[in-house]
Chains A and B, each alone.
Chain A
Amino acid sequence: MAVASVASVLHRAPVAPASTLQERLDVPGGRLPFPVVEPVAPLLPGGLRPGSVVAVQGSMALLLTLLAAATAQGAWAAVIGAEDLGVLAAAETGVVLQRLALIPRAGPDPASVAAALLDGMALVALAGTERISPGARRSLAARARQRGSVLLPLGRWPGADIELDCRVEAWHGAEAGHGRLRSREVVVRAVGRGAAARPRTARLLLPGPGGPVEEMLADLTIRAVG
């Protein structure tokens, strides 16, 4: 199926800088990473690697941002167990709703639902991680690695390849009785394992004015901490 892989490359064809070539070559099975939107790219160099586990803490908006670019390029995403997900906010963030499956109530065994979805979906987000046992965690990670999909737990997940931690700094737009909420300033910190062990932080507007994430123009520096 050499033709198939060429076709899928052409189909996805994100414009990637040459500097990420080495990372792409490191991907198991040679699969292309799923793209992420430009402002969060410095946190996840090269995008979301197939087969990895990327834990998101403290922000639903950040999770939706990670789904946006991939769904826009034809990949499917599922969100398990998030009963109160704001679908409107997802659309404003840039997620394509036709390819976002929601499983708000995953029943007594969310891990088995996640395992079934990892078979067919590119990105699988899972809320309520405290209900997943360590054994189920390991088998889900192995499943993602084997199928080349990305598992995005919303909450703590020991053993994640990358952990994204979102801290809210300030809200802009609303004053004492006038204006309206326009944007939120956050600092996102990414800590990884292996090649990504060096922590990276980014100061973002999440959501930015109008919905999608934006970089903070005043303080653009992506600095290494520690």
Chain B
Amino acid sequence: MRPPRVVVVWCPDWPVVAGAVAEGLASQTPAAVVAANRVLACSAVARAQGVRRGQRRREAQGRCPELVVLADDPDRDARVFEPVVAAVEALAPGVELVRPGLVAVPARGPTRYFGSEPAVAERIVDVVAAQAGMECQIGIADGLFAATLAAHRGLLVPPDGSAGFLATLSIAELHQPAADRAALVDLLHRLGLRTLGAFAALPVDDVASRFGLVGVCAHRLAQGLDERPLARRHPPVDLTVARRFDPPLDRVDAAAFASREPAQQLHEALATRGLACIRLGISACTEAEEQLHRVWRCAEPLTTSGIADRVRWQLDGWLTSRGSHRGAGITLLQLIPEEVIGGQALQRGLWGESGEDDERAGRALVRVQGMLGPEAVLIGVLGGGRNPHDRVRLGSWGEDPAPVHGADSPWPGRLPAPSPSRVPARPLAAEVFDDAGRVVGVSGRGKLTSVPYRIAVDGDPPRRVLAWAGPWPIEERWWEPGGGRRCARLQAVLDAEPAGPLAVLLGCETGRWKVEGMYE
């Protein structure tokens, strides 16, 4: 259950870079963004002279007297970042803004298109430098957290390598600007957990009982999983909030004012359904008939002001960016909740309609997921395949069910119903003997080498075969170089007194028999 591969584009020290661009400073000028008298971010030149995050302004200026102090302005950061996002979006669809300075893109599409992940990274760096005039670093890994840390180091982590990559990193990496985990990091450090790997090695039950929800989220991140495994519900379509503007919006201050009311309306619509938004789609239509769309992903469920901020930043970016739509006012604004999760207060139906059972069951399952971890509660979906194990896809409850292909397609060689009621989770070895005690195998032409007389299952003493049928050969993926699979199945009824006859389904692959299922 590894999270999808993500490309993260990270512009280092973004608040300072954005401030310097807005103020027209030369890139060699030492600069720092200061909020509440503390340094929030500083440029590389300033850092070389001893300025650090979290210093007081006076101390920073003491170390670097020519330091230019910039005010903290998230609107400016988002506005200046828009050309970077546009440049990335020109290469890869499905761009998600994590925060100004950091965008994430699913890796699958661009990797296929450009041929390899290094090619994608190279391409993005080139295009961002050429079109937006900014420097950026790329990280590719499984899951957003690992990819973000990889971007800080400019690394491409191989598939399934996220956990290993994270294991050696310092526990302090859990503290990212979007999620405040300073207290947790401090506590873990004092408990002697110095690396993410050490933290990830703890049993999840113990983490949950000691550190609560914050700890469990951080623990998932440290293991290389997604923070939130569950896309609980697909939002119904009617939650989209649309607003037309006549005259069109063409000024930033007007956009700021206009964004507040739709944000409030969206938040209320979600709240009455007991939902909260974690991915917000903002789309707009301009006078020049241009369609603009951007998705914001957030670490925390969005509040009214959170939605309004993002709408404002986005409109600001679109209105002032140097793109082709410059000068055209916005006539239509739509807020689309792309992904929502269940809010804390669930509204119950007034008439006790059928949803009530589902909701009760859902709460019980969530409780069990809280006790055992989200992967402990599974829901099965039938898919395509030839043997009882392959035909079932199990997914965590609440997770987006993966689209299942081929459930209705013909699968030559698939056995008709009834199917075995027990399918061993790990393969059980079996041995098949004929009446002379010789081992029975399957020939290259798919025939048994002899008549089965006794069968031993999982090291038990051999049992007499009462009846048997088969073998049915399967050849799968023979067209793939080295990837083919040849197998033959055999049904047998064994004499299992005193319990009565027991039927088993055996599979023979590369000369070895194993139990694929038992009809119990």
A→B interface (CB under 8 Å)? 1, 3-4, 7-8, 11, 58-61, 64, 74-76, 78, 83-92, 97-107, 112-113, 116-117, 119-122, 167-171, 173-184, 207-211
Could you tell me if A102 and B361 are in contact, using CB atoms closer than 8 angstroms?
no
Question: How far apart are the CA atoms of A210 and B418 in the complex, in Å?
Answer: 5
Could you tell me if A173 and B368 are in contact, using CB atoms closer than 8 angstroms?
no
Chain B: minimal CB distance from A51 (Å)? 16
Q: Can you name 15 A-B pairs with beta carbons within 8 Å? A: A7-B351, A78-B364, A84-B422, A84-B424, A88-B388, A89-B418, A90-B380, A100-B380, A104-B425, A107-B372, A116-B371, A168-B501, A180-B416, A211-B418, A211-B419
Question: How far apart are the CA atoms of A168 and B316 in the complex, in Å?
Answer: 74
Q: How many residues of B contact A (CB 8 A)?
A: 59
Q: Give B466-517 interface residues, CB cut-off 8 Å to A.
A: 466-470, 491-493, 499-503, 517
Chain A: minimal CB distance from B202 (Å)? 16
Q: Which residues of B contact A178 (CB under 8 A)?
A: 469
Q: Give B384-422 interface residues, CB cut-off 8 Å to A.
A: 388, 391-392, 394, 397, 415-422
Return the contact of B420 from the options A86, A104, A116 (Cβ within 8 A). A86
Chain A: minimal CB distance from B452 (Å)? 9
Question: How far apart are the CA atoms of A71 and B511 in the complex, in Å?
Answer: 42
Chain B, residues 420-437, CB within 8 Å of chain A (1/0): the string is 111111000000000000
Question: How far apart are the CA atoms of A89 and B388 in the complex, in Å?
Answer: 8
Q: Which residues of B contact A76 (CB under 8 A)?
A: 357-358, 360-361
The answer, yes or no, to whether B519 is at the interface (CB within 8 Å) is yes
Chain A: minimal CB distance from B262 (Å)? 35
Could you tell me if B501 and A121 are in contact, using CB atoms closer than 8 angstroms?
no
The answer, yes or no, to whether B230 is at the interface (CB within 8 Å) is no
Q: A174-B468, A175-B467, A177-B451 are in contact. Are A101 and B388 (CB under 8 A)?
A: no
Chain A: minimal CB distance from B415 (Å)? 7
Chain A: minimal CB distance from B329 (Å)? 47
Q: A175-B469, A181-B491 are in contact. Are A91 and B382 (CB under 8 A)?
A: yes
Count of CB-CB pairs between chains A and B under 8 Å: 192
The answer, yes or no, to whether B23 is at the interface (CB within 8 Å) is no
Given contacts A120-B363, A171-B467, 8 further A-B contacts (CB under 8 A): A7-B353, A91-B380, A102-B379, A120-B360, A167-B499, A174-B468, A211-B418, A211-B419
Q: Which residues of A contact B491 (CB under 8 A)?
A: 174, 180-181
Could you tell me if B379 and A101 are in contact, using CB atoms closer than 8 angstroms?
yes
Chain B: minimal CB distance from A107 (Å)? 5
Could you tell me if A61 and B392 are in contact, using CB atoms closer than 8 angstroms?
no
The answer, yes or no, to whether B354 is at the interface (CB within 8 Å) is yes
Q: A113-B371, A180-B469 are in contact. Are A61 and B421 (CB under 8 A)?
A: yes
Question: How far apart are the CA atoms of A100 and B378 in the complex, in Å?
Answer: 9
Could you tell me if B503 and A184 are in contact, using CB atoms closer than 8 angstroms?
yes
Return the contact of A181 from the options B371, B391, B418 (Cβ within 8 A). B418
